[in-house]
Amino acid sequence: MLQTLDDTCKIAVFNEFRSKPLWSGIQLSSTNVLFMCSVIKNVFQNTFIEKVKGMVACTNLEFPNQAVSLDGHRYVSVKTGKLEREILAMGDSLSLCRTKWQEGRPKLSYTTLKRVDFDKIKNLELTTLRAYPEFNERLSLCYELGRNVDPMKEIAFDRPLPPEYEVYVAIVGGFIPSKQLGYE
């Protein structure tokens, strides 16, 4: 379940997944938010999204004021299961971005992070705008693994990747056309 926030590129993803559109009795709450992020327009253009009638939006959501910034690109060797590939990944340098609002304008401050700092930031999202089909594959992995996962963040911090991330790596690495993976 997705809910757009005040800015239409910002969304909340709730830990509510269904194989069929049966949403009666579901009450959205800040306690069942899986993550919040920003997406680009192509997520809405290329994903079958249906407005659920009768669902009450969660009103007490506040977009996080801290996130991880991935600056620059680098080549990285990623292994998923038995498959190892080199991809161009975001995150040549890493930093913690804090946003303070002053007179309606954001004031950003950055603190440098190291790849070993993953445990400090593992519950934060990336500042990165998410796009189709990368975002959709992330949602699929969250559903499959039953928790919030972010392969892009794990790749940026040189984390070992489980075999379930193989399709994700193929998508971001451009190894297989998205259409062959079920994305149009």
pLDDT at 21 over 80: no
pLDDT at 18 over 80: no
pLDDT at 26 over 90: no
Question: Has residue 41 been placed in a domain?
Answer: yes
Question: Has residue 151 been placed in a domain?
Answer: yes
Q: Same structural domain for residues 100 and 172?
A: yes
Q: Which of 20-24, 45-49, 132-136 has the lowest mean pLDDT?
A: 20-24
Q: Cα separation of 139 and 17, whole Å? A: 9
Q: Same structural domain for residues 26 and 88?
A: no
Q: Cα separation of 66 and 161, whole Å? A: 25
Q: Same structural domain for residues 101 and 29?
A: no
Instruction: Name the domain count of the chain.
Output: 2
For residue 152, what are the domain limits?
A: 66-181
Q: Same structural domain for residues 40 and 71?
A: no
**Which is nearest to 78 in space by CA: 91, 63, 59, 97?**
91
Mean residue pLDDT of the chain comes to 91
Q: What is the pLDDT of residues 80-89, one digit of tens each?
A: 988 899 999 9
Q: Cα separation of 173 and 165, whole Å? A: 12
Q: What is the pLDDT of residues 61-97, one digit of tens each?
A: 999 999 999 999 999 999 998 889 999 999 999 999 9
Quick one: the chain helix, strand, coil %, rounded to 5? 25, 35, 40
Whether the CA torsion 51, 150, 181, 178 is positive or negative: it is positive
Q: Same structural domain for residues 98 and 129?
A: yes
**Token match 């603190």: residue?**
111
Question: Has residue 59 been placed in a domain?
Answer: no
Q: Same structural domain for residues 99 and 171?
A: yes
Q: Which of 101-105, 167-171, 180-184 has the lowest mean pLDDT?
A: 180-184
Going by the DSSP 8-state scheme, the letter that residue 116 receives in this structure is G
Name the pTM for this structure. 0.91
Residue 172 CB coordination number (10 Å): 20
Q: Cα separation of 169 and 171, whole Å? A: 5
Q: Same structural domain for residues 175 and 88?
A: yes
